[in-house]
Amino acid sequence: FQTPSYIGEEWKAPEGLDKKETVFEYLKSKKDMFKLAGNMEKHFEIVKEEKDTEAERTHVKLIEKYNGIPVYGSDQTVALDKNNNVKAFFGKVIPNLENKNIPSTA
Examine residue 102 and state whether it is found in any structural domain, yes or no: no
**Residues contacting residue 16 through CB under 8 Å, at least 6 positions apart:** none
Q: Which domain holds residue 77?
A: 6-92
Examine residue 105 and state whether it is found in any structural domain, yes or no: no
Examine residue 66 and state whether it is found in any structural domain, yes or no: yes
Please give the model's pTM, rounded to 2 decimal places. Answer: 0.88
In angstroms, the CA 59 to CA 78 distance is 6
Number of domains making up the chain: 1
In angstroms, the CA 53 to CA 82 distance is 10
- At residue 101, the pLDDT reads 63
pLDDT-based confidence at residue 5 (cuts at 50, 70, 90): very high
Examine residue 43 and state whether it is found in any structural domain, yes or no: yes
What is the rounded average pLDDT for all residues in the chain?
92
